[in-house]
Amino acid sequence: MKSANKNRLIFALGVALLLRVRAAEAVSLGANSCSASSCHGGAGDKSSQFVTWSQRDVHSRSYATLATARAARMGEALGIPHPEQSSRCVVCHAPLAGAPPGTGADPAEGVSCVSCHALPDGWLRGHTRPDWTHADRVAAGMRDLNDLYTRANTCVACHQNIDPEIVRSGRHPTLVFELDGQTQDEPRHWREIPPFAGAQAWCVGQSVALREASWSLLNGSAASDRAVLTWQGLAWLANRSGLTSASAPHDAAAPSRNELVETMATADQLARRAARAWTPRDTWTALRRLSATQGDFLDAGIPALQQAYRAERLVLALDRLVGALPPAERGAGVSSQLDRLFELAQSQPDFAPAEFAEAMGSFSRLLGPGESAVAGRQP
């Protein structure tokens, strides 16, 4: 992994960073330090974070997956005899594995509190003070996960970027980063303050995903074939959503360096803008424009596999956008037709663009007239 890529792996709190904690003033990095019933190990809604994470969250078991037979077979294919000890694996599965002795870090905890909330030397002792606001905690070094842009940047590193050799092994599960759906699937151990629209999280996440896909190709740190197809799907989605001027690729050619640089900047701007403000009009703009892409899947000049990557991102987008609507603003039959689209997009090798296009036409006709109804509404 190149050093620049390591810097983008937010979960990877390496030895150099951890050594900022002076031995004489060290605070524990282990999740158990948060587990007291008077802190985050209690039973109430405001104190059960450790219990929720340790008992229900797959992040707490991410290190354990490195000791499975599947991980061993993957290691054999890559020349890694002990995945649970390899920096290529623990960088995401156990970010604290490189912490020096005496810090209380335990690799077996997997992705724990510090991985997401940041190194606690500045904020641990004061973060429970009743006179500290959220802004005080952030100023002390706690990562501001209430901000969707920051949250997306924290998660994308390990949920999208991956060692290209591991991808080429064909054994690692395919990673598709989608912030809203993955947030909703996460066992909730927090309150959303302020609350946000699911469509907003979707837009921020897909914009950050496009930026990172562009960066990976630009720096040669991605497995070429799948990375190009992923980038093409994300760039097409951003363009057709109507929320950005990012260009939509029209053929199977890899993007040029200038295209990647431009797309990185455009995608990052969109992510920042969407994290700051989102309205019902934005949701309907994206939904209407994306539901009208039937003709794109009838373009015989686009290879079927490239169309399949487009469809994969599209059905995820439609799912999150429809899910963000009040039930009264969803057309009858939309959900069942969306299930049909998911079914058609499921198998990339067997993807049939014309059949998918026909289903997209039906989906578009089923949508309700909600855009005009919410045109002037404030979030």
Q: Quote the pLDDT of residue 194.
A: 74
Burial of 350 (0-12, 13-18, 19+ CB in 10 A): exposed
Q: Quote the pLDDT of residue 176.
A: 93
Torsion over CA: 286, 290, 242, 304 (sign): positive
- List C-alpha distances in Å: 211 to 21, 153, 268: 32, 10, 6
Preceding peptide of 194 cis, ω within 30°: yes
- Residue with token string 């007291």: 36
**What's the pTM?**
0.89
Counting Cα atoms < 13 Å in the Cβ hemisphere of 338 gives 21
Using an 8 Å Cβ cutoff, are 71 and 62 in contact? no
**Rounded distance between C-alpha atoms, residue 233 and residue 372, angstroms:** 29
Q: Quote the pLDDT of residue 101.
A: 83
Q: Quote the pLDDT of residue 6.
A: 44
Q: Quote the pLDDT of residue 251.
A: 67
**Rounded distance between C-alpha atoms, residue 36 and residue 210, angstroms:** 40
Question: Domain map of the chain by residue range?
Answer: 1-144, 146-379
Q: Quote the pLDDT of residue 107.
A: 92
Tokens at 313, concatenated? 């991102």
Using an 8 Å Cβ cutoff, are 54 and 31 in contact? yes
Torsion over CA: 158, 159, 163, 166 (sign): positive
Q: Which pLDDT tens digits describe the chain residue by residue (379 residues)? A: 443 344 444 444 443 344 444 443 567 888 988 998 888 998 877 789 999 999 999 999 999 999 999 999 999 989 999 999 999 999 999 999 988 888 888 999 999 999 999 988 899 889 989 999 999 999 999 999 999 999 999 999 899 988 888 877 778 888 899 999 999 999 998 888 777 779 999 999 999 999 999 999 998 766 678 889 999 999 999 999 988 766 667 666 789 999 999 999 999 999 999 999 999 999 999 999 999 999 999 999 999 999 999 999 999 999 999 999 988 888 889 999 999 999 999 999 999 999 999 999 999 999 866 654 444 333 3
**Rounded distance between C-alpha atoms, residue 333 and residue 327, angstroms:** 12
Q: Quote the pLDDT of residue 3.
A: 39
**Rounded distance between C-alpha atoms, residue 146 and residue 134, angstroms:** 9
Please measure the distance between the N-terminal and C-terminal CA atoms of the chain and give it in whole angstroms: 42
String of b and e for 243-254 (b: at least 16 CB within 10 Å)? bbebeebeeeee
